Amino acid sequence: MSTVSRALSDHSRISDATKKRVWELARQLNYQPNQLAAALRKGRSNTLGVVVPHIDGQFFALVVKGIETIANQAGFNVMICQSNEDAAQEQKNVETLLNAQVDGILLSLSLSTHDFGYLEEIRRRDIPMVFFDRVVESKEVSAVVLNDYQGGYEAVCHLIEQGCRHIAHLGGPQHLNICRNRYQGYADALQHYGLPLDPALVSFSDLRIQDGRQGMECLLAQAPQLDAVFSCNDLALVGAMQVIKRRGLRIPQDVALAGFSNELFDSLTEPMLTSVDQRCEEMGRTAVQMLLELINEGPTKVAPRQVVLQPNLLIRESSLRSSVLQETKV
């Protein structure tokens, strides 16, 4: 048994001759090692756990793809759980993963998670963990995020440069880092150009499509002079667009639009929607690489890091007023 095990793992103390014999026989018998037994003995399951709010929609689907690619290359299995934006479900997911003895956890917070207490259990068990996108902001934990602030800033600067002066914002829950930062980018861009930050031009919601419709109705009612909308995500922006069109307003001439996430449908609407691309796959790859590092070095060895990816503004018809030809790729 021991010799076999060592031969298969290419141990240096086994002669080439016996290795050959073992390999050959293993092939003949179609021997498949039992990962469970190995996991039990070695105390590592070679499995990674991922918790995402949902996988419909481009963003998380692509992040997951990036995660799977790298994880599989490194010989790790991946277990994916959806919290469905529900804090209780998220906690259950984490418990499930811990019970499944995963070697590490990748997590993006649900919309409704306010209490992070349950994460203590992960610390207590010394399970490596990396947040991505929607993170608890702390120097104590590893995380990879987009520079959402920069994304919001650039998008709004672009709108201003297109001549817009009354730019509205459809914002998300402010306890989420991403929404807060995008909003801050919006605010700072306005300030940079000497424009006022008008509360009547800002509407917060959970950013579903119906929230976008409703928010837009509201904004148009209280600030009819608005000439652009920057939305914290694309789904809400589509809702807003529907309302704008129904009112007979032209896009981008009367109201210019810019969103966030570069969803698949952004190029399918009319006009096509300007949006901030989030480098989804890269985010997934980076997160899992950091996690693997933590796993291999031991979570106590390597200090927590926060990686920030730079966003990429994709300018499309919904915000392009000037006759300048569009240079950015769709």
Partner DNA sequence: AACAATTGCGCAAACGTTTGCACAATTGTT
Partner DNA sequence: AACAATTGTGCAAACGTTTGCGCAATTGTT
By CB under 8 A, name the binding residues for a second copy.
32-37, 39-40, 45, 47, 54-58, 61-62, 64-65, 68, 72, 77-82, 84, 92, 96, 98-101, 238, 264-265, 268-270
64 binds, among DNA, a second copy, none (CB under 5 to 8 A by kind): a second copy
305 binds, among DNA, a second copy, none (CB under 5 to 8 A by kind): none
CB of 115: closest distance to a second copy in angstroms? 19
15 binds, among DNA, a second copy, none (CB under 5 to 8 A by kind): DNA
**Closer residue to DNA (CB): 45 or 150:** 45
CB of 16: closest distance to DNA in angstroms? 7
CB of 82: closest distance to a second copy in angstroms? 6
- 23 in contact with DNA (CB under 7 A): no
Residue among 27, 42, 124, 301 that touches DNA (CB under 7 A): 42
**Closer residue to DNA (CB): 42 or 124:** 42
Which residues are paired to 204 by β-bridges? 171
Find the part of the chain contacting DNA (CB under 7 A) among 4-12, 59-67, 116-124, 163-171. Answer: 4-12
CB-based contact 226:198 (threshold 8 Å): no
CB of 66: closest distance to a second copy in angstroms? 11
The footprint of DNA on this chain (CB under 7 A) covers a number of residues equal to 25
- 9 in contact with DNA (CB under 7 A): yes
Residue among 23, 24, 27, 38 that touches DNA (CB under 7 A): 38
Burial class (CB in 10 A: 0-12, 13-18, 19+), 253: exposed
CB-based contact 198:222 (threshold 8 Å): no
d(CA 99, CA 330): 43
CA dihedral 164, 166, 170, 171 (to 10 degrees): 110
- 221 in contact with DNA (CB under 7 A): no
Residue among 10, 27, 30, 43 that touches DNA (CB under 7 A): 43
- 17 in contact with DNA (CB under 7 A): yes
Task: Give residues in contact with DNA (CB under 7 A).
Answer: 1-6, 8-9, 12-18, 31-34, 37-38, 40-43
